[in-house]
Structure 1
Amino acid sequence: MFIYLNGDIVKDKEAAISPFDYGYLYGIGFFESFRIYDGHPFLLDDHLDRLNKALQEVHINQRFTRASMQSIIERLLNVNGWQHASFRLSVTAGKGEPALRTLAFEEPTILVYGGPLPEAPMELQEKKASVLTIRRNSPEGSERWKSHHFLNNLLAKQEIGNPAVEGIFLDQFGHVAEGITSNIFWVKGNTVYTPSVDTGILNGITRQYVLSLCEKRGITVEIGRYPLSALLEAEEIFMTNSVQEITGIHEVDGSSFPGKAGQITNELFKHYTQDRNELWTRNG
């Protein structure tokens, strides 16, 4: 497999990063994962906007545009012979002295790698979920970015122990927060509910797309802090993730839900399938 590293396309086994990279020493870095549909990077502008804001907050001197990122994507798709794929764009603070400093980071490490995917499904998928005992930690700063600080997620994955099951975090007060690698939504009485970002969740790109889609389709949405009972009393539950798309939840700890048969979940997924090959931004 070929990857992109600091301006070059290299074989993955030949890539080298300094042992003094602040991404390795201190976990200072951010990433975005996005899906490629027949060569098109769905919602790329939104992913780059979130990444650029995160980089600015910690003074990493790097900004991305659609054109610059699309050039990298096209090069990687061509050299690897892929048409449908997922990619991860990762940016760390780069090489520095082995002691934490507060200056701006002028030479970040930029890594883009991915893998091929089958053609995207036209039917809604579903999976099980389970409520975690480990609580969602608070964000490192004013809001949660998609950072390299992933220990909370790793501990949650280890608690679940099954990659086919999505773990659901509660926040420190017992409110529903998010999945290990997803945002959570549920439906009751023709209203879509989802936790607010002040529960400490990542403001996912697909989450933002679904909220925008609901507004366009006239679907009522409520965003707030909700107890676990609100989730378990739902008529439909679904999760969102930039690679797994919109996925129905058919079971939570033994309680059954419609999953891929959910009416509103299917309506949203139908529009997702119509948008995923052409939209650059949820506002497009």
Structure 2
Amino acid sequence: MASVPVLSKSEATQKMMALTHDNQKNYLAMYSSWLGGIVKSPAFMWVPIDDHLVHRGDGVFEAFKVLNGNYFLLKEHLDRLERSSKAIQMELPMDRNSLVDVIKQVYAAAGPKDVLFRLYVSRGPGGFSTNPYECVASQIYIVATRYQPVVTEKYEKGVRVGRSDVPIKDGWMAKVKSCNYLPNVMMKKEAVDKGFDFTVSFTQEGLLGEGSTENIALVSEDDELLFPSFDHTLQGTTLKRLELLAAELVKSGELVAVREASISMQDIENAKEMMLIGTTLDVLPVVEFAGKAVGAGVVGPVARRCLDLLRKNIASS
């Protein structure tokens, strides 16, 4: 093997600028509290290797979207960020008003009107052990990428979902949106490997959980819109908004109720409809679960109505 060069600062910078991949065309801007500014070149969208976010997954995050200048559910996402940060006993490095101001500046620097944000709060750089007290200070990294909605065909024809073999997150970890996402990664890998669009987890008791980054809900045989208990799933901001909006369907008689429930495989087999809910998905109909048709095997009326209600709410936010 040839000797490995020891790079100078200028040589390393040149190589960083030269190394690219296709997805980078969608990376618009990044704020780093460690750098103290915003960068637009993907070559400089980096995190220190000794930041505990990198080698321990020690941090929390949120993903939210801005469509045509509308910051959808920003307050709710930042509320959850604060809850997650508190749960792992990590202080945010700036107050809410300052954080919102930085987010808006990143949006302005990004350019396009439709942007997907990912906001990471790390324990910070300072060493390579598990000891959080060696970190200099917590950091914030805010990344703006081009918003890429799900293709229209998926909403018209629905998606296929499988049952995951990856163990569900237990206890308080299920309620924290941490940067330790290995189970979620394995669920997505599993879905791709098995030819599903998504997989969803189940508890040890056989109750429905959640997708790798999505909540899931179903329309029962009694015309109730049910979603799994937040005792073992992350409280999705989009799902909580849909819960409020779907009250209109109860008033109109299209649904009997909207509520949390313990959902078994039998409930899934008897369901009239099923849908995935999330920041990037909005409401995505499920027409097949574990190789069997959900209901009639086509996109149902409640899923269509929920998608319409949510998108109207997004547009008016």
TM-score (normalised: structure 1): 0.87
1:149 aligns with 2:180: yes
Correspondence for 2:52: 22
- State the SS of the aligned residue for 2:247: helix
Distance in 2, Cα, partners of 1:66 & 1:254: 46
State whether residues 28 and 148 of structure 1, in contact with CA within 8 Å, keep that contact through their aligned partners in structure 2.
yes
Distance in 2, Cα, partners of 1:232 & 1:75: 48
1:77 aligns with 2:107: yes
**Paired amino acid for 2:165:** T
The offset of 1:263, in angstroms, is: 1.4
Distance in 2, Cα, partners of 1:123 & 1:159: 23
Higher percent of residues as strand: 1
**Paired amino acid for 1:232:** E
State whether residues 240 and 247 of structure 1, in contact with CA within 8 Å, keep that contact through their aligned partners in structure 2.
yes
Correspondence for 2:284: 247
- State the SS of the aligned residue for 1:18: coil
The offset of 1:187, in angstroms, is: 0.3
- State the SS of the aligned residue for 2:213: coil
1:238 aligns with 2:275: yes
Distance in 2, Cα, partners of 1:166 & 1:8: 37
**265-274 vs 106-115, greater mean Cα deviation:** 106-115
Distance change (3 Å), C-alpha of 1:71 and 1:119: farther
Distance change (3 Å), C-alpha of 1:135 and 1:68: same
Distance in 1, Cα, partners of 2:180 & 2:149: 31
The offset of 1:63, in angstroms, is: 6.5
TM-score (normalised: structure 2): 0.78
**Paired amino acid for 2:55:** L
Distance in 2, Cα, partners of 1:206 & 1:31: 16
- State the SS of the aligned residue for 1:174: coil
Distance in 2, Cα, partners of 1:203 & 1:255: 28
- State the SS of the aligned residue for 2:50: coil
Distance in 1, Cα, partners of 2:261 & 2:169: 18
Correspondence for 1:43: 73
Larger Rg: 2
- State the SS of the aligned residue for 1:13: helix
Which one of the candidate residues 165, 182, 186 is aligned to 2:218? 186
State whether residues 282 and 311 of structure 2, in contact with CA within 8 Å, keep that contact through their aligned partners in structure 1.
no
Distance change (3 Å), C-alpha of 1:98 and 1:122: closer
- State the SS of the aligned residue for 1:62: coil
* Percent pairwise identity: 21
Q: CA RMSD in A?
A: 2.7
Correspondence for 1:282: none
State whether residues 217 and 226 of structure 2, in contact with CA within 8 Å, keep that contact through their aligned partners in structure 1.
yes
Tell me how many residue pairs correspond in the alignment: 277
Distance in 2, Cα, partners of 1:244 & 1:260: 18
The offset of 1:118, in angstroms, is: 5.5
Deviation per CA, 1:208-239: give whole Å up to 9, x if none.
11222233553402322221121121001001
Distance in 2, Cα, partners of 1:119 & 1:185: 20
Which blocks of at least 5 consecutive residues in structure 1 are unaligned? 280-284
1:8 aligns with 2:37: yes
Distance in 1, Cα, partners of 2:165 & 2:149: 36
| Counterparts of residues 1-284 of structure 1 (less than 5 Å) | 1-6=28-33, 7-10=36-39, 11-62=41-92, 67-101=97-131, 103=133, 107-117=137-147, 125=155, 126-139=158-171, 141=172, 143-161=174-192, 165-188=197-220, 189-198=222-231, 200-215=232-247, 217-218=249-250, 219=255, 220-257=257-294, 261-279=299-317
The offset of 1:245, in angstroms, is: 0.8
**Paired amino acid for 2:176:** W
**Paired amino acid for 2:29:** F
Correspondence for 2:13: none
- State the SS of the aligned residue for 2:246: helix
The offset of 1:64, in angstroms, is: 6.4
The offset of 1:28, in angstroms, is: 0.8
The offset of 1:104, in angstroms, is: 10
The offset of 1:264, in angstroms, is: 1.5
- State the SS of the aligned residue for 1:197: coil
- State the SS of the aligned residue for 1:153: helix
